[in-house]
Structure 1
Amino acid sequence: MTIGFESMPGSSGYLDLFPERRMSYFSNPYVLGLTVIAGIGGLLFGYDTGVISGALLYIKDDFEVVNQSSFLQETIVSMALVGAMIGAASGGWINDAYGRKKATLLADVVFASGSLVMAAAPNPYVLILGRLLVGLGVGVASVTAPVYIAEAAPSEVRGGLVSTNVLMITGGQFLSYVVNLAFTEVPGTWRWMLGVAAVPAIIQFCLMLFMPESPRWLFMQNEDTKAIAILARIYDIDRLEDEIEHLSASSLEDRKEENAVTYFDVFKTKEIRLAFLAGAGLQAFQQFTGINTVMYYSPTIVQMAGFSSNQLALLLSLVVAAMNAAGTILGIYLIDHFGRKKLALSSLSGVIVSLIILSGAFYGQSASPSNSLFGWLAVIGLALYIAFFSPGMGPVPWTVNSEIYPSQYRGLCGGMSATINWISNLIVAQSFLSIAEVAGAATTFLILAGIAVAAVVFVAAYVPETKGLTFAEVEQIWKERAWGSGYNSESLLERGDEDESSLPS
């Protein structure tokens, strides 16, 4: 049978008709297991971004040339971000050409190789090569994991399952702080800190060998039998027929346009351009509202606030990382109940307040250095920032980017938007301390608050609510925004070839 998808905003029409077929986050162990295994890529992402802060202290002890050169220190830190940008940019093409599974396996091989190169590095230049390799692996994984999870997930729990990947990222950051503390008294310190990251990459590689390819990608490759076998493990028999029919119809149109898809088409086609603007804008604002400023420099921020003890600074940073992971768990629940757009707006509102508190604390601390009250106010602002950011602007950009593009554009656009994230990450990481030195910490946090205000306007104007929608319904949103409400007059599955012929050239 053919199911029409006209429905209330923010709700899948199919599930409005058959509410008894809704699935919960924990209802299918197969889907949850697939999500966790794919999410190990997020763990590698988070671990790599967090571990270098502690490792660098000991790298400087081992290599005098690094200790004497700020440029080398910055290069060691930022080379992974450079690799991630390249990996994310190429990862979209790899995903579309070879599939989500092979892209994950490739990311694991490259990441594990980079970790082992870093652990054995005889000089800082080989270490920089290792950082480039792990960055390449992280970049590919940052594109692949959200798309792989989203394409296997039932629409009603897609947000929570994709957010599990973000939980793995924040969990990896927390783990990196724990590992840094654990290896401080072990001979070889930084080599263990950096080399141990190969273990989860190897584990994921072995487990992924037994995981299926994305059913949506298989449909795109005309491997319908394999795709149906996978869908049969995800959905019960009552829902399976409709999901197969829906995917078959969607992939038929996708295949017609598959060979024509290029980077230029993203900007040439109006509805794809609008979708990419929303996705890439969310990724940029995620970074420019300061999250990795907090994660990379939280010990420094604590010390700038007047707490000079290294031990206390590291301990408070560990608390910040734990709060980040805990907030993401809350986000997993909220994103499919509260909605992507509302969650992002609420998160950003709290971020603005937190950054203003941080700015006020540093302004007060500079005016009255001996007053410890302002130091504690800065720590409270830091904690509030994480509490508001982590459930919303942490998972929402990755979730939205995994679901707003048509199948034939999903890998390409996902890679492009992830590249925007990494470029923004690099800009923030490289500029925060310099801006704080020139303008002062108080002014710097006020600038971030201003950017967060701009992010609120952007989300309100350009990001649609996609909670519970099928991929076809999300695609319909962009067609309506691009070409008017006339695209809402018929069932998507009944349009067939008509869509292609009616699109303006």
Structure 2
Amino acid sequence: MTIISLPGSSGYLDASNNRKISYFSNPYVLGLTFVAGIGGLLFGYDTGVISGALLYIKDDFPEVNQSSFLQETIVSMALVGAMIGAAAGGWINDYFGRKKATLSADVVFLLGSVVMAAAPDPYVLILGRLLVGLGVGVASVTAPVYIAEASPSEIRGGLVSTNVLMITGGQFLSYLVNLAFTEVPGTWRWMLGVAGVPAAIQFVLMLFLPESPRWLYMKRDKSEAATVLAKIYDPYRLEEEIDQLATALEEERLRKQAVSYLDVFRKKEIRLAFFAGAGLQAFQQFTGINTVMYYSPTIVQMAGFKSNQLALLLSLIVALMNAMGTVVGIYLIDHFGRKKLALTSLSGVIVSLILLAVAFFLESSTSGNVGAYGWIAVIGLALYIAFFAPGMGPVPWTVNSEIYPESYRGMCGGMSATVNWISNLIVAQSFLSLAEAVGTGVTFLILAGIAVMAFVFVAVFVPETKGLSFEEMEKIWKEKAWGNGSGKEPLLESRS
């Protein structure tokens, strides 16, 4: 029996059945992906639910209704927690493993959900938001890495993007829950408290799942790693994967030094990889996605739709488009490629943000009643999501799960996710105040300008990683740092 190398990937084709690895090839890998992806669901639910809950929190707490700063703090305190959780999550992942990191995130998130649901005042609510943020931050680092390390390279992009689908699905679920509880006493308490349910479900399911096979092989138990890998690959591919892990482990031993955060900036190839990964994460947020997801009901009301229920219903449609767009991204990311998908996505984002800006400029010149301009704003929101979701939604997380060497993957992934959360915090904490200061139209124009910068950044600094093994990716960064001495540039071009 012969094993034929597939062009454009590090994968293999079994000549006896002529079957290529596909997204649905292995139910075991899909199971790992979806259980780990519940962390993404928590991420999405938490970012989406507050947009609707905030409308009712303002009704219960007059001090919140009277202060844009307090509203922004309730929204963004989860981001402060997520920033801390992501920063610590890289170390937790590398030291304790991906599985224990996930379990710890679930416990903290569940605790935060209970605190939020029982909060007697805005300040206890803010504490609960901080706790769920800590859980979300750890999960945002852990889920993509866990999935990537258990995925064949041919379908790694699609599987990691499934985590992003869970994020957008969580946001859609949050809007459904928001609508379901609009007429129930204690409206916002139910909205926020329900978040603990998926955390409890993931905790139980994760107890029955294995640790990441790559982490096991590199850190603890080679035989256990081989057992897990045998459930992912056929015997021919299994031997190849174990050989690659053995080579990577030997290289780590030859380095004979502990990995430190300073190494990320001292070593040129790691610095270049981190710059590309962290830049993608920053631009994902500064192009406004969570401005849309946190404040979409508020934006709809700014456009002239004053009813809370109507604002939530229109926002639900936006969230549904976000989830559907991510499904498209799962297919495209392994067929179209990461870089091309990001550039196409950003082109549409720029046009959509300009449309939103124009709608608000025109709306501000009218009496404020709902008219064509209000509907143009809603269409602009929908178009924004339609372009953002398939590309700039999954691409930053996918690229960051695959561009770093094994010894730096948890650390750089955590640092990059921290950049994402810091950027997220800046946007969430400033959007309402900026809109009040310069106008909503100008605010969206600023975001459009940032999207142009993001397009240039991706075009110049982000390589195509479609189909590359972790080892091939590491060689590409060394080549970018130190020149084309190994003749690896043709490989990069052929994969693009």
TM-score range, shorter chain: over 0.9
TM-score by length of 2: 0.93
Residue pair 1:15, 1:21 contacting (<8 A) in 2 also: no
Matches within 5 A, 1:412-431: 412-431=411-430
Match of 2:385 in 1: 386
Task: Give the partner amino acid of 1:234.
Answer: I
Q: Show the counterpart of 2:140.
A: 142
Which has the higher mean CA deviation after the structures are superposed, 231-240 or 65-74?
Answer: 65-74
Match of 2:352 among 346, 351, 354: 354
Q: Which residue of 2 aligns with 1:31?
A: 29
Question: What does residue 176 of structure 2 align with?
Answer: 178
- 1:234-268, Cα deviation, whole Å (9 max, x unpaired): 01122111111112211221344475211100000
CA deviation profile, 1:86-129 (whole Å, cap 9, x unmatched): 00000000000010000000000111111112222233332222
TM-score computed with the length of structure 1 as normaliser: 0.91
Tell me, in whole angstroms, the C-alpha distance in 2 between the residues paired with 1:196 and 1:295. 19
> Does 2:293 match 1:298?
no
Change (3 A) 1:258 1:281: farther
Percent of pairs identical after alignment?
77
Matched residue, 1:442: 441
CA displacement, residues 206-245 of structure 1 (integer Å, 9 cap, x when unaligned): 1001101111111111411010000000011221111111
5 Å-filtered alignment, 1:157-196, equals: 157-196=155-194
Q: In 2 relative to 1, CA 384–62 (structure 1 residues): closer, same or farther, beyond 3 Å?
A: closer
> Are 1:452 and 2:480 matched, yes or no?
no
Q: Structure 2: 5+ residue runs without aligned partners?
A: 492-496
Aligned partner letter, 2:377: A
1:12 to 9, 12, 22: 9
Counterpart CA distance in 2 for 1:258 and 1:64 is 60
The question of whether the paired residues in 1 share the 8 Å contact of 2:12 and 2:237 is answered with no
Matching residue of 2:373: 374
Q: 1-side partners of 2:106 and 2:84: how far apart?
A: 16
Q: 2:20 aligns with which of 22, 37, 41?
A: 22
Partner of 1:496: none
Deviates more, 1:248-257 or 1:161-170: 248-257
| Residues 108, 135 of structure 2: 8 Å contact kept | yes
* Aligned-partner Cα distance in 1 for 2:394–2:135: 20
Cα 1:181–1:56 change in 2 (3 A) is: same
Deviates more, 1:270-279 or 1:189-198: 189-198
Contact 1:50 1:295 in 2 (8 A): yes
Asked whether the equivalents of residues 218 and 224 of structure 1 are also in contact (C-alpha less than 8 Å), the reply is yes
Change beyond 3 A, Cα 1:218–1:49: same
The number of residue pairs the alignment matches comes to: 486
Quote the RMSD (CA, aligned, Å).
2.3
- Structure 1 residues 258 and 106 mapped into 2: Cα distance closer, same or farther (>3 Å)? farther
Distance 2:173 2:420 in 1: 22
2:202 partner letter: Q
Q: Which residue identity lines up with residue 447 of structure 1 in the other structure? A: I
Match of residue 495 from structure 1: none
Kindly report which structure 2 residues correspond to 1:63-82, keeping only aligned pairs within 5 A, or say none: 63-82=61-80
CA distance in 2, matches of 1:441, 1:270: 41
The range that moved more, 365-374 or 398-407, is 365-374
Q: Which whole-Å CA distance do the structure 2 matches of 1:320 and 1:342 have between them?
A: 24
Specify the code of the residue in structure 1 equivalent to 2:9.
Answer: S
Q: Take 2:423 and 2:460, find their aligned partners in 1: how far apart are those partners?
A: 21
Partner of 1:409: 408
Correspondence 1:155-234 to 2 at 5 A: 155-234=153-232
Distance 1:341 1:405, change over 3 A: same
**Matches of 1:135 and 1:371, distance apart in 2:** 36
Q: Is the 8 A contact 1:26 1:32 kept in 2?
A: yes
Match of 1:252 among 247, 250, 253: 250
1:194 to 1:310, Cα distance in 2 relative to 1, 3 A = closer
